[in-house]
A and B are shown apart, each in its own frame.
Chain A
């Protein structure tokens, strides 16, 4: 599902809509199968800079157009739509699959798992196309993983800009870090009040 802007961008400030990039935890953004490690961070920028490739772009390795981009957020967000600006000469990705709130997805996981939503992408070199999400499924997103399985016939995939439109809540979805499970109950771990002095002060 793609929709074109039906107004000219001079009238209203498009950049304020695409401001979800401010809530991305940029240092923790990572990508798999990128040719230059760390180049994925240059892809998240303001709407006005979506076409400038001064800071580099994300390119996959030679001969393999598959890409996975992992985007963690600093607070939970609701994503309304996504915009992708690809590369020229068939290096734009032609399909996008999204997974939410799953860390450490690699290629075998991505290929076997059911995506939250999939889109067929068009070659969007001017960055005017946006792909709407099924909003109800993209509430409370702590991290987003985008999988681009293939490109338009090119040897590699190139992505210049990934834009996210939506709202940020101030909440943070926290993962329970360590839980210690009891394999066998140990009474000494569970002292009742009566054993540990009764809980009342007593005179010695």
Chain B
């Protein structure tokens, strides 16, 4: 039991060392954003219609459940709240909370009736977000607009400006009633709120596709483009690597802390890489200037261009190798740790040939892992004890301890304890003889 835990911990450390590097080189961009979201549901009479299966209201409820799940999964600190816009009046069902169960529970037993009050709904949502517990969260409102909109375009634009001023983002799902005026008004509203592409509007026409399916591919789910597209790409890569489509080969449900730790280390590594890259760019630009001080501007720019393309080619090669490495690393995390030692050794040599930095990081992680492994077995401990080794070697027939090659071997053994597991298998065989 203890051995398994230790080996899994060593794998984790290797993960944390390798992963940030590989992800950065592969160009993923993750930003964990802390958001407070209010979802405005339309429960007006127009939601009884069956043009979205089974009813508009049910399709809407499914979509809401999906959004809540996605938000809480992408960041456990995200909070989501729900309010209804029709019925007897705007009513807040649940204030922003990270408790998914509470949100899903409040969706039961909702009554359909009345007319949707868009302006009041948005204003109440804004108020609910204003009183969120964590003031550092970004504010977002998601509106499901099914029924017709009775407000003027001007009024909606004023509301939009007010949201923009208080840096609240707005996503609108335009479904249900299809009305040119309604579309125009909602587009104007989102345009007024939109600040740097943080607000979106999605039109979902009636049809065989479920509302939730259509929404999955929209920016409402994929976030502001950065975090979302990164996740989608990561899921695809992980799936290709033969692991269930989780971001880091670790199920966030089974081990949320590990998933979070991996993401945080990835972010830190990314920031560090950016700083290093910036510094390298500054240094290389300085070197360019020194080298070409006497030549023309044209040749200087040429050199810069060729060096840029060179580094790009190198980057492509790196990316191919690292794709393979990435698959290996993902597979490793699933497999028995003992079996991975040999695979890791071969991977190391391939990668080391290409990139000095990568080799250093990998070697560090391997040494850490190897140290743990050798500590596990008594045999390992004995083998690392040099005096014992030399005495054993002396007792072997045909081995002269003073032989220079044996001495070299002993010296190298001190430096590379990972050779010891292989020695494990060799030693017992020889002693059995």
> Which one, A61, A104, A106, A108, contacts B164 given CB within 8 A?
A61
Decide if B153 is an interface residue (CB 8 Å cutoff). no
A contact residues around B195 at 8 Å (CB): 37
Decide if A17 is an interface residue (CB 8 Å cutoff). no
A contact residues around B196 at 8 Å (CB): 36-37
Decide: B165 and A104 in contact? CB cutoff 8 A.
no
**Would you give the shortest CB distance from A47 to chain B, in whole angstroms?**
25
Chain A residue at minimum C-beta to C-beta distance from B134: A104
- The B-contacting residues of A in range 93-107, CB under 8 angstroms, are 103-104, 106-107
A contact residues around B135 at 8 Å (CB): 103-104
A contact residues around B161 at 8 Å (CB): 61, 64
Decide: B164 and A107 in contact? CB cutoff 8 A.
no
B contact residues around A33 at 8 Å (CB): 164-165
Decide if B130 is an interface residue (CB 8 Å cutoff). yes
Chain A contact residues, majority secondary structure: loop
Decide if B34 is an interface residue (CB 8 Å cutoff). no
Decide if A66 is an interface residue (CB 8 Å cutoff). yes
Decide if A32 is an interface residue (CB 8 Å cutoff). yes
Chain B residue at minimum C-beta to C-beta distance from A70: B135
Decide if B33 is an interface residue (CB 8 Å cutoff). no
- The A-contacting residues of B in range 130-180, CB under 8 angstroms, are 130, 135-136, 161, 164-167
Complex Cα spacing A33 to B163, Å: 10
State the 9 A-B residue pairs at the shortest beta-carbon distance, nearest first.
A104-B135, A33-B165, A103-B135, A106-B166, A37-B196, A32-B167, A32-B166, A107-B165, A37-B195
Complex Cα spacing A124 to B303, Å: 47
Complex Cα spacing A56 to B164, Å: 21
B contact residues around A108 at 8 Å (CB): 130
> Which one, A36, A37, A61, A103, contacts B165 given CB within 8 A?
A61
> Which one, B130, B136, B165, contacts A66 given CB within 8 A?
B165
Complex Cα spacing A103 to B167, Å: 15
Known: A32-B167, A37-B195, A66-B165. 17 other contacts (CB 8 A): A32-B165, A32-B166, A33-B164, A33-B165, A37-B167, A37-B196, A61-B161, A61-B164, A61-B165, A64-B161, A103-B135, A103-B136, A104-B135, A106-B166, A107-B165, A107-B166, A108-B130
Chain B residue at minimum C-beta to C-beta distance from A178: B133
B contact residues around A61 at 8 Å (CB): 161, 164-165
